[in-house]
Structure 1
Amino acid sequence: MSTDNPEIGRRITIGDVETNYHDCGTGEPVLLLHGSGPGVSAWANWRLVLEGLAPPFRLLAPDFAGFGYSTVAADYVFSREAWLAQLVGLLDALGLDQVDVVGNSFGGSMALALAIEHPERVRRLVLMGSVGVPFELTPGLDAVWGYTPSLDGMRELMGIFAWDQSRITDELVELRHAASTRPGVQEAYARMFPAPRQRWVDAMAHDEAAVRGIRQPTLLIHGRDDRVIPLQTSLTLLHWIDDAQLHVFGRCGHWTQIEHAAAFQRLLRDFLGADSAAD
């Protein structure tokens, strides 16, 4: 495996998962949790953040089991519980008692899971275009989870993710298509969210009372024009989480961290750098 590939970081064995993760910068630890698009990896999702925010933070960005370059056996059972065990195992292995957590889309549901099941491990919470509450499956998310590899199919998906269609270059489409067709990748992806897919939205949703029990300061970020995860999910979270604030970007789809990279990073820097003693 070429070390020239920026998607490949460090490797650590967490249970049954050979976990690929990035560890950049110094300072307060921040765990970055990626979404569930085909061919996604922590680096593909967070590359601009990894370049822009480290330092003053120590940024940890793992590939979830079945995504990117984290490898599992062919019979590995994907579930919210299994992915959560991977996250807790990573924090334990790195000796981190508490982190700030930034979750994107599917990764938002996993950030919520960590805050609900292990509240002592989470200092602050950022949820971007987050899954984790009940909503009706969108055509966009159905297309994302139902992807079968082709250049045309990947081009269509990239167009669903972005508001600014000029970002959907041939190079981007070819790179993401290649990532989605690496040996074993599509096989694992097809096993995660088979049709009918509303059940996986429901499986990644958390109990209302559990979400209302979250006490960590929470920043919610959403693109107004998101065609994958509806803005209503962040509005629900705003009502359910007591210490929450919401920032909505117009002219923005599901890629807030890319389409509004500088503003997104300023939001994170201000929110995560806030003096916790003032709470």
Structure 2
Amino acid sequence: MTVTELFGGRDGFEDRVVPVCGLRIRVRIRTGTGVPLVLCNGIGAGLEVLEPLVAALDPAATIISFDVPGTGGSAASPVPYAIPALACGLNRLLDEIGVGAVDVLGLSWGGSLAQQFALQNPRRCRRLVLVATGTGALMIPGHPRVLSKMLTPKRFTDPDYASAVAGDLYGGAARRGGDDVARVFRKQAHAGSRIGYVHQLLAGAMWTSLPVLPLVRQRTLIVAGSDDPIIPLLNAHILNTLLPHATLLVHPGGHVDIITDPKSLAPAVTSFLSAP
């Protein structure tokens, strides 16, 4: 195991910067028991955005979160990358921190990475949780007016803007006011880079899981909101139909309810991961 510098952290958590394929990747580990859960975040978001979910999950579980290249505290890649290459990088990252078999949860854009990782690493990935995500470039898209707000990372750097657009962008409880979303985004310690955001956009635009979903053998929990403007609910039904061992959980909320109201959804995730 190659361990680089430690920088901070708090009780039960360890923050590391780990070299992966020539890049410095920031990782946060909450040490516990059982099969570790790896969290793959949404586009442009640093790992702090996932803190409400981490706090609501099984307190005894080992949880690993990280910043993809160019987000949070991770260095940006000098060149664009593809989702399969990023899945290889995640595999290398787990090697570097000395972790074996894992469960993987992917939120939104991170669901693409989670699906690809499961496909490429059938022995390492035990179970899969897909939250507010779809099949990539070949999916039912949200309304162009909604998707246009995702072309820049402004919502992560401007709390007033994040609050103003949250209802239209994320749906669910955010329609009653976007302060909760803005508050979660303000948790980020590092803003990330614009080129990193562009690389994520390009990677997502060039990737789809649609032809290979029947090859994903892991038991999978699909969590989808009925009021999700970014990933319409029909995408969850497509995933549920094509994945051989899937269970679909539909809730009445929006795109980011799992981080703005994690207590309503985290128990279902914990139950799925702990089931025999």
> For 1:10-89, what aligned pairs fall within 5 Å after superposition?
10-28=16-34, 29-36=36-43, 38=44, 40-44=45-49, 46-73=50-77, 75-89=78-92
Q: Which TM-score applies when normalising by structure 2?
A: 0.83
Query: Which of 193, 197, 209 is matched with 2:201 structurally?
Result: 193
Q: Is 1:168 the equivalent of 2:178?
A: yes
Q: Deviation digits for residues 7-60 of structure 1, max 9, x if unmatched?
A: 993211111221111101311211111010x4x11221x211222325321000
Aligned residues between the structures: 262
Q: CA deviation at 1:192?
A: 3.8
CA contact (8 A) 2:37 2:104 kept: yes
Paired residue type of 1:185: S
- What secondary structure sits across from 1:164 in the alignment? helix
Corresponding residue number in structure 2 for 1:263: 264
RMSD of aligned Cα (Å)? 3.0
Which shows bigger deviation, 256-265 or 112-121? Answer: 256-265
Corresponding residue number in structure 1 for 2:162: 154
Corresponding residue number in structure 2 for 1:273: 274
CA contact (8 A) 1:10 1:22 kept: yes
Q: Is 1:249 the equivalent of 2:251?
A: yes
Q: Which TM-score applies when normalising by structure 1?
A: 0.82
Corresponding residue number in structure 2 for 1:224: 226
Q: CA deviation at 1:152?
A: 5.3
Q: 1:2 to 1:173 in 2, by over 3 A?
A: farther
Which shows bigger deviation, 80-89 or 141-150? Answer: 141-150
CA contact (8 A) 2:25 2:69 kept: yes
> For 1:122-137, what aligned pairs fall within 5 Å after superposition?
122-133=125-136, 134-137=138-141
Distance in 1 (CA, whole Å) between partners of 2:188 and 2:153 is: 13
Q: CA deviation at 1:172?
A: 5.6
- What secondary structure sits across from 1:71 in the alignment? coil
Corresponding residue number in structure 1 for 2:111: 108
Paired residue type of 1:188: G
Q: Deviation digits for residues 187-223 of structure 1, max 9, x if unmatched?
A: 43235426xxxxx655231142x21011111100011
Corresponding residue number in structure 2 for 1:237: 239
Q: CA deviation at 1:258?
A: 2.6
Q: Deviation digits for residues 61-83 of structure 1, max 9, x if unmatched?
A: 1111111111135x232321332
CA contact (8 A) 1:137 1:201 kept: no
Q: CA deviation at 1:143?
A: 1.9
- What secondary structure sits across from 1:193 in the alignment? helix
Q: CA deviation at 1:131?
A: 3.1
- What secondary structure sits across from 2:172 in the alignment? coil
Q: CA deviation at 1:253?
A: 0.9
Query: Which of 128, 142, 145 is matched with 2:148 structurally?
Result: 142
Q: CA deviation at 1:259?
A: 4.1
Misfit runs of 4+, over 6 Å: none
Which shows bigger deviation, 171-180 or 26-35? Answer: 171-180
- What secondary structure sits across from 1:9 in the alignment? strand
- What secondary structure sits across from 2:265 in the alignment? helix
Distance in 2 (CA, whole Å) between partners of 1:99 and 1:178 is: 26
Q: 1:271 to 1:172 in 2, by over 3 A?
A: closer
Unaligned 5+ runs, structure 1: 195-199
Query: Which of 185, 205, 209 is matched with 1:206 structurally?
Result: 209
